[in-house]
């Protein structure tokens, strides 16, 4: 099972997938009239065969078939008019998220949102912490950063977004990315581009059969499962494979839904616990676990910063923390100084 770390540079890579690349526009052979400027296209060229059975997704269809996906399932997705045709998929060889994209989470309103959520679901967090030994502030910080606890879960067809991430190794797409990247940075090699493409394919290809399984299990149209541009969905923004492996029916209604706040907090706690998160882990070890949620130092820094701000609202941190005594809690900044 591939880890949700694939979200990794997932947000940053996903932003690239929605960005138009001007140099991807095919050159026109016709010479424009001197008195009129040639019109500029805002769409990517079709790299696959636009008349194919799979709407240009032939390379990805072949890879899915090798992975054991049934032809009927492949056709149901890639022959459907609901599936956009395959187009150029730009990516970077070494993407890195800047801290600036998380700067807004320093606002007090986000810490207050998290604190209010913890207060509302206090009983559920008590049970979750006893089960997984994962602090509620950390779980809540992740939910705040990912979707503002369900306010913004995404409106993209994740089958399309996952397919774009899984299809980057299409030979035509590799050549076009190499041409584009080489023009910007002469040190980039074709092997660099292929290596990055292979990583993305290995990370995201398994997510498509996982999504198909979720669709069948829940009797929902694959195209109706909506999420982010990175192919993640629900309040905690899980990839399909993570939902299957770590999703928890927190409220005991017999159904796991990442759009249900109780299920979401339990599922996020279960995920972190599965990768070894414990309240008393050294800071460096806790960072390694959050890295498995999103491979971005900027993201990890933001999680702990938001968690600390949530924790320090009122006396909540003192009541929840696991330090040996109040003096130790104060020393690490988990609760305010006691008043006389």
Say which range, 123-137, 153-167, 300-314, has the weakest mean pLDDT: 300-314
The residue ranking higher by pLDDT, 338 or 116, is: 116
Distance between CA atoms of residues 200 and 205, nearest Å: 8
Distance between CA atoms of residues 61 and 215, nearest Å: 18
Distance between CA atoms of residues 280 and 270, nearest Å: 17
pLDDT at residue 49, as a whole number: 59
pLDDT exceeds 60 at position 304: yes
Average per-residue pLDDT in the chain? 84
Say which range, 193-202, 211-220, 283-292, 317-326, has the weakest mean pLDDT: 317-326
% of the chain with per-residue pLDDT over 70: 77
pLDDT at residue 313, as a whole number: 85
Distance between CA atoms of residues 264 and 238, nearest Å: 10
Distance between CA atoms of residues 313 and 319, nearest Å: 12
**Whether 144 contacts 180, CB under 8 Å:** no
pLDDT at residue 338, as a whole number: 41
Distance between CA atoms of residues 243 and 114, nearest Å: 23
pLDDT exceeds 50 at position 8: no
The residue ranking higher by pLDDT, 35 or 188, is: 188
**Whether 21 contacts 90, CB under 8 Å:** yes
The residue ranking higher by pLDDT, 2 or 170, is: 170
**DSSP-derived secondary structure letter, 81:** T
pLDDT exceeds 50 at position 20: no
Q: How confident is the model at residue 88 (pLDDT cuts 50, 70, 90)?
A: very high
Distance between CA atoms of residues 26 and 15, nearest Å: 23
pLDDT exceeds 70 at position 312: yes
- Residue 154's nearest CA partner among 15, 2, 60 is 15
Distance between CA atoms of residues 46 and 65, nearest Å: 22
pLDDT at residue 50, as a whole number: 58
pLDDT exceeds 80 at position 48: no
**Whether 242 contacts 4, CB under 8 Å:** yes
pLDDT exceeds 60 at position 46: no
pLDDT exceeds 50 at position 158: yes
Mean pLDDT along residues 200-207: 98
pLDDT exceeds 50 at position 273: yes
pLDDT at residue 45, as a whole number: 44
pLDDT exceeds 70 at position 116: yes
pLDDT at residue 299, as a whole number: 97
Give the pair of three-digit tokens for residue 151. 């306010």
């Amino acid at each position: 099972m591939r880890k949700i770390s694939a979200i990794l540079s997932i947000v940053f890579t996903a932003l690239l997938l929605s960005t138009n690349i001007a140099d991807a526009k095919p050159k026109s052979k016709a010479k424009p009239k001197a008195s009129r400027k040639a019109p500029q296209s805002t769409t990517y060229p079709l790299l696959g065969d636009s008349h194919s059975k799979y709407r240009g997704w032939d390379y990805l269809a072949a890879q899915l078939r090798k992975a054991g996906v049934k032809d009927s399932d492949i056709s149901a997705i890639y022959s459907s008019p609901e599936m956009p045709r395959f187009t150029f998929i730009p990516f970077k060889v070494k993407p890195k998220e800047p801290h600036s994209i998380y700067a807004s989470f320093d606002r007090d309103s986000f810490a207050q949102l998290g604190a209010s959520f913890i207060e509302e679901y206090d009983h559920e967090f008590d049970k979750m912490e006893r089960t997984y030994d994962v602090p509620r502030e950390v779980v809540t910080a992740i939910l705040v950063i990912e979707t503002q606890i369900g306010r913004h879960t995404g409106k993209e067809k994740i089958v399309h977004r996952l397919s774009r991430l899984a299809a980057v190794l299409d030979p035509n797409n590799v050549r076009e990315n190499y041409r584009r990247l080489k023009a910007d940075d002469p040190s980039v090699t074709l092997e660099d581009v292929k290596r990055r493409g292979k990583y993305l394919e290995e990370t995201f290809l398994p997510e498509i059969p996982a999504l198909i399984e979720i669709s069948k299990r829940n009797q929902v149209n694959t195209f109706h499962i909506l999420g982010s541009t990175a192919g993640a969905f629900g309040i905690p923004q899980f990839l399909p494979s993570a939902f299957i492996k770590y999703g928890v029916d927190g409220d005991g209604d017999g159904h796991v839904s990442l759009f249900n706040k109780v299920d979401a907090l339990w599922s996020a706690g279960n995920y972190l616990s599965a990768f070894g998160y414990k309240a008393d882990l050294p800071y460096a070890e806790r960072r390694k676990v959050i890295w498995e949620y999103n491979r971005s130092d900027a993201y990890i820094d933001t999680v702990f910063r938001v968690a600390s701000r949530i924790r320090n609202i009122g006396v909540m941190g003192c009541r929840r923390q696991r330090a040996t005594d109040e003096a130790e809690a104060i020393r690490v900044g988990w609760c305010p100084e006691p008043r006389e």
